[in-house]
């Protein structure tokens, strides 16, 4: 086997997406032949001993799996966190092989969350250049004006820069709240919550209902998971290489 970048090999072995594997290396949790690994280094898996948290890393012997979870509120999207009361991994009882989440939803958010042990697949879905749309149903406080909605569509200045243009439409208003549908083509931390706060309408509830053309099934209840069908997997694998 030709030498290849360490983070690519870790992702291939099911340690997470390539970005997550880069974080493992940066955190000092990866070693090559007993020495701390560095970002960008190349390895020969046939010759080098690679460990994460002291445990050997080996290529997966099982087939790749792809599944969806209807994430309920109150669960942190991480494989393990000693400070988190509950993680999404606790909801995956019965999954036959170790998997990791593709992207994340914050603890207060709900909806469609994908998991796999295929690092290359996860990296494709998460890479910014593919601009894979993600659709959310968002209940906000108050009734946003047309100007507020236009600001969300055009971009909102946040502390980490201007947001990219988004699709936003009002569905209905009732009891002092408004239901919006928002489609994003980027994925910053708590982005929708910060955008809506910036235009004066804090989020009361947020549910991701679609990733690309893949929609959250109506019959998948909060806390439930199931494997993706071949047709659903094809929807994700055929996502365009740009918006």
Which entry of 106, 108, 118, 160 is annotated as an active-site residue?
A: 106
Number of Cβ within a 10 Å radius of residue 76:
18
106 catalytic residue (yes or no): yes
Residue 106 to residue 115: CA distance in whole angstroms: 15
In the beta sheet, which residues pair with residue 71? 111
User: What is the rounded distance in angstroms from the CA atom of residue 147 to the CA atom of residue 108?
Assistant: 27
Contact in structure between 208 and 136 (CB atoms under 8 Å): yes
Query: E strands of the chain, at which residues?
Result: 4-5, 30-32, 35-36, 42-43, 50-52, 55-56, 66-71, 100-102, 110-116, 134-141, 157-158, 161-162, 167-174, 177-184, 203-211, 214-215, 225-227
- Are 40 and 5 spatial neighbours (Cβ–Cβ below 8 Å)? yes
Token pair of 3, please?
A: 């030498």
Catalytic residues: 106
């Amino acid at each position: 086997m030709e030498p290849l970048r360490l983070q690519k090999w870790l992702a291939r072995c099911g340690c997470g997406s390539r970005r997550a594997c880069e974080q493992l290396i940066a955190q000092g949790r990866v070693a090559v032949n007993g020495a701390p690994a560095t970002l960008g280094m190349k390895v020969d898996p046939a010759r080098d001993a690679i460990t994460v948290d002291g445990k050997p890393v080996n290529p997966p012997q099982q087939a790749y799996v792809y599944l969806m979870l209807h994430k309920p509120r109150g669960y942190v999207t991480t494989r393990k966190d000693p400070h988190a009361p509950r993680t999404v991994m606790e909801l995956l009882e019965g999954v036959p092989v170790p998997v990791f989440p593709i992207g994340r939803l914050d603890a207060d958010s709900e909806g469609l969350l994908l998991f796999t042990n295929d690092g290359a697949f996860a990296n494709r879905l998460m890479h910014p250049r593919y601009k894979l749309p993600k659709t959310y149903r968002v209940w906000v406080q108050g009734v946003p004006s047309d100007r507020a909605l236009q600001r969300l569509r055009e971009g909102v200045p946040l502390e980490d820069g201007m947001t990219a243009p988004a699709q936003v439409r009002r569905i209905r208003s009732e009891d002092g709240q408004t239901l919006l549908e928002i489609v994003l083509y980027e994925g910053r931390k708590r982005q929708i919550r910060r955008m809506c706060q910036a235009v004066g309408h804090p989020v009361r509830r947020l549910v991701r209902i679609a990733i690309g053309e893949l929609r959250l099934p109506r019959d998948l209840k909060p806390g439930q998971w199931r494997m993706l069908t071949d047709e659903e997997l094809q929807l994700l694998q055929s996502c365009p290489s740009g918006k």
